[in-house]
Amino acid sequence: MRRKVIAGNWKMNMLPNEAIEFIQSLAEKVKHSEHEVVLCVPYTDIFYSVLNTQGTNIKIGAQNMHWEEKGAYTGEVSAEMLKAVGVEYVIIGHSERRQYFAETDETVNKKLKKALSVGLKPIVCVGETLEQREQGITIQVITGQTEKALDGLEPEQVEKVIIAYEPIWAIGTGKTATKEDANDAVRQIRKKIAEKYGQNTANGVIIQYGGSVKAANAKELFEMSDIDGGLVGGASLKVEEFSNIVNYN
Ligand code: PGA
């Protein structure tokens, strides 16, 4: 039985004092959750967030990382640095990073290998554009991104990867994939993993849905057979809304 992982992605929002207030309030509201609750916060909030989640069931994630351990990479943060400050999860290859910061399938693959090697739990994002959906190539695009992200990994490493299926046209737009379409896309990703790494491995991989998840649609999405929770952007900035998503059942 796969566990549901419900992760907030704060993107470039929340000052440290806001993060602390949010976490203290959220901790109380989700303390009985059986789901894995994660907040992926900006780098500048990590230290305070890790401190304030001690003794709670909230885990802290980052939103990006570099694949090298250290060196002359001005402005970058390594997996080792994240690990040392208490981060457990890291988002890799979010569509905003692919779109605005030249993230490619190749860099996603490098970052993923690095994250696994230091024991961070990666959340790898895949998803099609509206144009690709209209062309009828959604499944090809998302299974292709998945294949390239996982390239060179052993099945026991693949099992540790979380994949977030996030149709780009649904991110921040208020448009959500129908629960059937989202579940079908997730199922196709799982099928591709089964082809390459075996059915047992595929059955263990957590695959989330992301894109305009809110309290009003979380239950119908998360109750689908293959959807193992969600990656939540805008709705993770409001403590009431996010806790209602976590407590959807
Ligand atoms: P959204 O963002 O929930 O605001 O659509 C999701 C994401 O980008 O992970």
Residue 168 pLDDT > 80: yes
Report how far ligand 1's centroid is from the alpha carbon of 174 (Å): 9
Residue 27 pLDDT > 80: yes
Indicate the pLDDT class of residue 176, thresholds 50, 70 and 90.
confident
Q: Which amino acid is at 26?
A: L
Please name the residue whose Cα sits nearest to atom 6 of ligand 1.
Answer: 233
Please tell us whether the domain made up of 5-246 is placed in CATH 3.20.20.70: yes
Which of 243, 185, 181 is CA-nearest to residue 214? 243
Domain boundaries, the chain: 5-246
**pTM for the full predicted model:** 0.98
Q: Which residues line ligand 1 (CB under 6 A)?
A: 9, 166, 171-172, 210-213, 231-235
Catalytic site residue from 36, 94, 96, 128: 94
C-alpha to C-alpha distance for 209 and 232, rounded to whole angstroms: 9
Query: Which pLDDT tens digit goes with each residue over 93-118?
Result: 999 999 999 999 999 999 999 999 99
Which of 164, 223, 173, 163 is CA-nearest to residue 197? 163
- Whether the CB-CB separation of 120 and 76 falls below 8 Å is answered with no
Query: Which pLDDT tens digit goes with each residue over 36-80?
Result: 999 999 999 999 999 999 999 999 999 999 999 999 999 999 999
Q: How many CB atoms lie within 10 A of CB 210?
A: 28
Indicate the pLDDT class of residue 1, thresholds 50, 70 and 90.
confident
Q: Taking residues 124-138, what's their average pLDDT?
A: 96
Which of 101, 65, 60 is CA-nearest to residue 81? 65
